[in-house]
Amino acid sequence: MTSRPAGDVVLGDDGVSRCWWCAGDGLYRRYHDDEWGRPVADDVRLFEKLCLEGFQAGLSWITILRKRESFREAFHGFNPERVAAMTVRDVNRLLRNEGIIRHRGKIEATINNARRALDLIDEAGSLAAHLWSFEPASARERIRTRADIPPTTPESIALSKDLRRRGWKFVGPTTVYAFMQAMGLVNDHIEGCAAGSAASRSRAAFRPPCQ
């Protein structure tokens, strides 16, 4: 059995063991403890996360997390119908908004993806039903080390191809896998992390909307 390198799970000053990546920042720790890896079936939250993962490309997630409330305000709470109605004037306005990442391509992609999300909702009944249909068929064993966490999986590659075929932007397989990790389609908390056990219990009680 592979031993876990020191530092993959970190004991916080509150006595709680967590994955290494959230150590040292209170906002990051709360996100890790209460959100990351917990299953989500709400279309707005799923759409928001796909968009924010796209904004993260080339950046760190903590940068996006610190700006998340500003993003929510800028994009109408990530309500797909409201975002889909945004115009070039809105794009130009958001390019002056210092509270978000001012990247024209990513802003325009968010509006485009909202329109594609509405198409998908019309087809599948909900965004959640379609996205959760790409959940891995069987859960793998708990991750023992950070080296065991893959950058992509066959499922994230398949979902990325599916979304891009439908016209979505900034949804490469690495971005999509980060989305799957965060929204609970997989549980990539390191073995020994307290939040990982909580995420497992949440998943056991969760019924995917595609079933």
pLDDT at site 211: 59
Structure tokens at 124: 């599948």
- Taking the chain (211 residues) in runs of 10, the rounded mean pLDDT of each run is 63 93 91 97 98 94 96 98 98 98 98 98 96 88 88 97 98 97 96 94 91 59
**Could you tell me the CATH superfamily of domain 42-189?**
Hypothetical protein; domain 2 (1.10.340.30)
Pair 143, 9: CB distance under 8 Å: no
* 157 CB-side CA count, 13 A: 5
Rounded (10°) angle between helices 26-34 and 194-204: 30
What is d(CA 18, CA 20) in angstroms, rounded to the nearest whole number?
Answer: 6
CA distances to 43, 48, 62 from 202, in Å: 18, 21, 24
Structure tokens at 156: 């994230």
Q: Are strands 9-11 and 17-19 parallel, antiparallel or unpaired?
A: antiparallel
pLDDT at site 6: 55
Residues with catalytic annotation?
31, 53, 61
